[in-house]
Structure 1
């Protein structure tokens, strides 16, 4: 498994992986109301994120195939963390988070991070040391749990 910084050539694979794994996020099976979310994970949107100075993406590849990726926004918000189904259960999410967290700390983050977790991923983020912050939110046709990790709470 190789982990490296992503670039715009990874946009299509990243977008496809998010789309593949996002079904549990939707409030409606028809995805009604989720158009803003869907636009935010389009190939074009991911290209913009990959080109923006305030985003950092790391991809994990196995035999040339995208196994997973992590993205931080503003060196503090865990923007995306996705692992392909074939690679789940192998601690890849933990490895990707550790890389992103280490890079952020080295870039000056004081040890505080946020994430808007899918409801199914809450236990994963709790294992990383994140705590639920407030109630579940339902916005733009999806639900998520805001979470925060404060310095000294690292469970990784």
Structure 2
């Protein structure tokens, strides 16, 4: 498996990956308005992550297939971390997370965890900074990690 910077040629595969994982793991936690809002916002936002001035964006490639996607904005806010269902539980999410954290010297990295991913982030050293919240029906848990105390 190869971890590399994402590029414009990856958009279709990344979009397919994010859509598949979202339908299986994320959308079931939202009501219908949250599901619509999520798909309206998240899928178009993928292309934004290829702006190398603001984002460090990575893909995990197995053969010719993208099986992981991760993006960190301004080196202190994780916006995306998706792993294909067929390789979940094999450590790829942790590898992608470590790759993002290695790109920064920020003292704190924050994110809005989907409900289904909160246990993964806790296991990696993140803590909830506020209770569960929602925006337009999209449920999330604000989380952060102090990089000075993390296991990196």
In structure 2, the partner of 1:124 is 120
**Is residue 35–residue 140 contact of structure 1 (8 Å, CA) maintained in 2?**
no
In structure 2, the partner of 1:37 is 38
User: Which consecutive aligned stretches of 4+ in structure 1 deviate over 4 angstroms post-superposition?
Assistant: none
Query: Does residue 1:151 correspond to 2:152, yes or no?
Result: no
In structure 2, the partner of 1:140 is 136
The one-character-per-residue Cα deviations of 1:84-131 (angstroms, maximum 9, x if unpaired) are: 0111111001111111111123xxx2x310010011111110111100
TM-score (structure 1 length as normaliser)? 0.86
CA distance in 2, matches of 1:136, 1:121: 13
Task: Report the count of equivalent residues.
Answer: 149
Task: Report the Cα offset of residue 25 of structure 1.
Answer: 3.4
Query: Does residue 1:25 correspond to 2:21, yes or no?
Result: no
Where 1:154 maps in the other structure, the secondary structure is coil
Unaligned 5+ runs, structure 1 = none
CA RMSD of aligned residues (A): 1.7
The one-character-per-residue Cα deviations of 1:40-64 (angstroms, maximum 9, x if unpaired) are: 223x432232135211101000011
Query: Does residue 1:62 correspond to 2:36, yes or no?
Result: no
TM-score (structure 2 length as normaliser)? 0.88
